[in-house]
Structure 1
Amino acid sequence: MRILKIAAALAVAAMAVASTAHAQPERWQRQWPQTDFTTAAITDWSEIRSGGPPKDGIPAIDDPRMIAASEETRLGAQEPVMVLPVEGVRARAYPIRYLLWHEIVNDSAGGVPVAVTYCPLCNSGMVFDRRVGGQVLSFGVSGLLRHSDMVMYDRQTESWWQQAVGTGIVGAMTGRELELLPAWMDSWERYRAAYPEGLVMDEPDWRRAYGRNPYVAYDRAARPFLYSGEMPPHGIPPLMRVVRVGDRAWTFERLRQERTIREAGVVVSWEPGQASALDAGRVAEGRDVGNVRVRDAGGRDLPHDVLFAFAFHAFWPEGEWMLGG
């Protein structure tokens, strides 16, 4: 079964690669007539690839139902969730088992409109403030990829946004930036222990195999799918998880060895106890990749991301690899 899934994924990748031989702005203009292609940060349009599903083929979730964490019984103890603490209101958790199938959740917390995002091909999970220049945006999944990372679009201007960097890349919003909020991926049991009165996103009303992983063994692959860019330097495996803060990255290999790293004005800590969402057939059964927290010297949580090494190198080619020694 696993071999069949990998073979099918490779076949899809091959077809997508072939289709991008003709990837030109005109092609995307026909498919996106409401997008302003006269403004764009992209110079090499071959970087834009179809991920397979069309626009909204992966449906974003709007205004999700939230339930008390104490009422949730479907999640495994080590299952990953995106944690969003908001001052003055109950913390919120968004299970990766749902984000694997929807990738974007448009929500509001404590009066702040937020976009909870997860790109499985890059393992990039981030929460953004949806307000840009006084306007509240809502986001959908374009079905397009750049450097294997999800291209989001806003429904107000149909501009394209690069999820990994939270920046507009095509359309009226080109060059605008979304504010990255302090949020992190944690295990379900750790979230419940830290926020016993917290909330959790309820299962969406879509016919999806929630709890199952459609990317079996992906984070153990030799190469990322739908990616033709440079591999990371220093012999770092392309699908090694790294913690990114700004333009610096710490590898999980180093974190597992040192547990806590204090440098460059940040404190990065690692503890075991979180299942990989991209490993086993069921999310709850993935191998233990550990939990990461990123704080400043005063103990305040910092905006960050945990993504694959190839994606960090693709979007921060001049970034600093914090290898120690």
Structure 2
Amino acid sequence: MRHVIFAAATAVIMAGQALASPDFWSREWPNTNFERSSVENWVEILSGGPPKDGIPAIDNPTFQNVADKTTVGAREPVITVEIGDDNRAYPIRYLTWHEIVNDTVGGVPVAVTFCPLCNSGITFDRRTRHGVLSFGVSGKLRNSDMIMYDRETESWWQQAVGEAIVGDLLGTELEQIPTWMESWAEFKARNPDGLVMAQPGYPRMYGANPYQNYDSSHRPFLYSGELPPHGIPALMRVVRVGDRAWPLSRFETATEISEAGVNLSWAPGQASALDSQDINAGRDVGTIRVRDAQGRDVAHDVMFAFAFHAFWPDGTWMIAR
């Protein structure tokens, strides 16, 4: 699978360069207002392969009690959303194939999102000044990051930054909710009475990684931008808090770092979702938690270094002193 995907990358990039214009995309997206856009270089917008909704977002997911879930491996990553007394786990084995889950947790309408090509797992509040939005997968990429769209206006949204980049809602920003990625075993131990998303009713190879060995590659898929500075590998994971990024190499000699007003901790036990074919057998990348001085969870993302550099070119790299 990986070899087929990557072999097609050059052809897709060349085609994207030839068709790079809002006029071209408007044929597929007649309801999107392309006169409103913050995209300066349309060459950056590429088709990832699937068409609009070819990767089906999940609406109104069903859940199981933690004790009843037997199909998720102990080391498999889940995105944990804890709002009030409502604690839910969204397994990456499902998000790899669906990328967006529209749900309501603790009374808050949320979009739980995961872009495999950037390893970016972010949860957004779906409430905006324009009303509560529902999101789908456009099938488009920018700097290898998923472009979402809202079903109400069909505006395009950049997943990594949570902002509308094309359409009537241009410039609208989604609030990022403090959530994190951890192993299924960690979630179960802390939330024995919690809920976990049930397997969606689609014919997918849930639990399998279609991007085998991706996070040990030298170059990202469908990305032609600048590589990170300071010799940081493009596909090294970094912890992004606002416009700052801590490379995970910092945790090779420490399990806790306190800088810039936040405390970052690392613990082993979580498998990479982008390593081996069997997600549960992936190499150990550990779990990151980010808290403030009062011990409260802080919104963050554990993404690849190239994606941070692409979307925060003037961001601060918190490299070892």
Q: Same fold by TM (over 0.5)?
A: yes
Tell me the equivalent position of 1:216: 212
1:105-254 matched pairs, under 5 angstroms: 105-133=101-129, 135-254=131-250
Deviation of residue 49 (structure 1)? 0.4
Tell me the equivalent position of 1:303: 299
1:85 and 2:82 correspond: yes
Deviation of residue 12 (structure 1)? 2.3
Determine which of 23, 27, 32 is the counterpart of 1:26.
Answer: 23
Contact map agreement 2:74 2:185 (CA 8 A) in 1 = yes
Deviation of residue 232 (structure 1)? 0.2
Contact map agreement 2:2 2:210 (CA 8 A) in 1 = no
Task: Give the % identical residues.
Answer: 60
Contact map agreement 1:90 1:197 (CA 8 A) in 2 = no
Deviation of residue 13 (structure 1)? 1.1
SS in 2 for 1:85: strand
Paired with 2:228 and 2:93, the residues of 1 have a C-alpha distance of: 28
Contact map agreement 1:64 1:202 (CA 8 A) in 2 = yes
Contact map agreement 2:44 2:142 (CA 8 A) in 1 = yes
SS in 2 for 1:258: coil
SS in 2 for 1:91: strand
Tell me the equivalent position of 1:55: 52
Paired with 1:6 and 1:200, the residues of 2 have a C-alpha distance of: 29
Tell me the equivalent position of 1:70: 67
Unmatched 5+ stretches in structure 2 = none
Deviation of residue 134 (structure 1)? 5.0
Matched pairs, number? 320
Paired with 1:198 and 1:18, the residues of 2 have a C-alpha distance of: 47
Deviations 1:21-55 (A, max 9, x none): 22111101111000011111111111100000000
Tell me the equivalent position of 2:273: 277
Unmatched 5+ stretches in structure 1 = none
Contact map agreement 2:93 2:207 (CA 8 A) in 1 = yes
TM-score between the two structures when normalised by the length of structure 2: 0.98
Paired with 1:77 and 1:93, the residues of 2 have a C-alpha distance of: 13
Q: Which contiguous aligned blocks of 4+ residues in structure 1 show a shift greater than 6 angstroms?
A: none
Deviation of residue 66 (structure 1)? 0.8
* Aligned amino acid, residue 24 of structure 1: S
Contact map agreement 1:12 1:52 (CA 8 A) in 2 = no
* Aligned amino acid, residue 24 of structure 2: R
TM-score between the two structures when normalised by the length of structure 1: 0.97
Determine which of 282, 290, 302 is the counterpart of 1:294.
Answer: 290
